[in-house]
Amino acid sequence: MAYVQGCDRSQLLFTSLDMMVAPDSPARVIDRFVDGLDLDGLGFEVAGKALEGRPAYDPKALLKLLLWGYCGNARSSRKLMRACSVNLEAMWLVEGVEPDYHTISNFRRDNAACVKAVFREFNARVLAVLGTGFVSVDGTKVRASNSKDRNFTASKLDDRIARLNGRAEECLRQMELADAGEEPPAGSLTRDELESKLAEARERVELYEGYRKAMEDGGLSQLSLTDADAKLMKSRNGFQVAYNVQAAVDSETHMLVNYAATDRPTDHGLLAPTAAPLKAGGGVVEAVADKGYIQDEDMVACLEAGVLPSVIPPDGVDAYEIDVGYAEAPGADPASTEPADLAACIHAGVVPDAYAGALEIGGPHDKKVFVADAAPGAPESPYGTEEEMRARAAEGYFVRDPERNAVWCPAGERLRQKSVKRNGDVRYANKTACARCGLRDRCGPQKCGWKEVDFGKDVLEKPIRGFGAKAAPGSRAARGHYETRRVVTLRLAPDKEKCAQRMCLSEHPFGTIKRAMGADHFLLRGLEKVDAEFGLLAIGYNLARAIGILGFDGLMGAVA
């Protein structure tokens, strides 16, 4: 049977790069958009004309190449370098030049701080045509360029050092048996092998002790060796070294209108920083978020900045009631949407016009609040050595070592800092030690399978009732006092209809970026460069979304 016949490969074709690129290719949108940018005004490092030597590459060509690559799942600098010689769209964008991967990588690194300005410029042009609604804020964990084996917590280091010390002791014991002339068991290691393993164990112990000392001196809760800014976080796929990327999605277009890469393992306190930059000069921003954003201080910060938060409340709760300090503000204008006027009205007990119907303010009235006493610094432990602290803990106490920021438990294990609570108390835990501890049933209730104990800044020990220990000094009554303060009560009712749309808004961009665009991990390292990498992905996502809404011709007119 006959087959479709191709052309003769040796036939000479009279054509151009422009003829080889489809008329409705997204590369043409990128080309027109970047040509209309003032890169110097956006902060890019724009190289001047070279008086001698080889000229520099055009920064607009390199930016076009990066945007094209992040739209088409070609994020690495080596893939982009190859695309400049084999891909027609890439060749068309850079006009036939072939920069090497060092040039591409260095341009991306040196201009990481400018990507957000490009992202905002693209949105400003497109959303001016489409219009906007309210925003949905959510976070997602994206794996960093750092494996779990090269991420250490203090508890992990303690456990590895203990295991290596045990291994070294076993090597010494076998060497002593050999020196005494006893017959070694069958399959035992030779003396040379034992000495090699002993030296290796001691070398690794010295390395891990150096890591632990660096963490104690720097007050670090984690240490990542490849990407210092990345943190071990809990995600749907278990624990992984990652970044928590915050994104605000527009309800009308499903486009990303703001983003921020953070090293925070949870979303608490991140609603205001993510939504506040979106506030327009003449109005307020409505933002919805899930229960992970419940934090009174964050919601108050939103209201003061011009953001009306609708955070999904806990089950059985219809509205949030938050007390804030009262302050008279006779000159505050309720009709204004400036942050200073909004904050003044809220603290004066006046509902700003922009929040009418969603916010109620009661008071002012007096309320007793607990105030922690100021402490000059961390108290000195009455126990001078680790042995003394461990002996005291064995009597039925959790004993804190303020110098090393650790807690000793009755089993002689060291609990390390896990988190800092809202009231300033530090939570300590050691999941690994609790898993093999024979005293875990005597340490009190364990909500999560291992013991967690909270210490205030001036508390040095806590008794364990199961051991019959007496109350330790430094009780809560001794650490603060109650004061009567004048407050107003904010009653904030979330918009249930908008909250119901949250999942359909926030999950869509994250799924597209991670699955369709293949960006389930970051290639770059460092918080600033990771933020820029997600910005390039966000521009690529918004470009595809805008083409789907406006069509090719409509988007070409919008970005011009």
Among candidates 70, 65, 127, 138, which has minimal Cα distance to 100? 65
At residue 131, the pLDDT reads: 86
At what angle are helices 77-86 and 59-71 packed, to 10 degrees? 100
Q: Give the rounded percent of residues in the chain with a pLDDT score beyond 70.
A: 91
Q: pLDDT tens digits, residue range 351-371?
A: 898 898 889 888 788 888 766
In this structure, are residues 395 and 477 in contact, taking their beta carbons and an 8 Å threshold? no
* pLDDT band for position 514 (cuts 50, 70, 90): very high
In this structure, are residues 540 and 517 in contact, taking their beta carbons and an 8 Å threshold? yes
Distance CA 269, CA 258 (A): 16
- Show me where the domains of the chain are located: 17-129+544-559, 132-143+231-373+489-535, 148-224
Among candidates 210, 238, 211, which has minimal Cα distance to 224? 211
User: Which of 225-229, 290-294, 329-333 is predicted with the least confidence, judged by mean pLDDT?
Assistant: 329-333
Alpha carbons within 13 angstroms on the beta-carbon side of residue 125 total: 22
At residue 446, the pLDDT reads: 66
Q: Does the pLDDT value for residue 316 go beyond 90? A: no
In this structure, are residues 248 and 260 in contact, taking their beta carbons and an 8 Å threshold? no
Q: Does the pLDDT value for residue 47 go beyond 80? A: no
Q: Give the rounded percent of residues in the chain with a pLDDT score beyond 90.
A: 46
Q: What is the mean pLDDT of the chain?
A: 86
Q: Does the pLDDT value for residue 76 go beyond 80? A: yes
Query: Which of 12-26, 43-57, 419-433 shows the highest mean pLDDT?
Result: 12-26
At residue 311, the pLDDT reads: 92
- State pTM to two decimals: 0.85
At residue 466, the pLDDT reads: 67
* pLDDT band for position 21 (cuts 50, 70, 90): very high
| 50-63 mean pLDDT | 83
At residue 479, the pLDDT reads: 57
DSSP secondary structure string, 467-521?
GTPPPPS--GGGGEEEEEEEEEEEEE---HHHHHTHHHHHHHHHHIIIIIS--SB
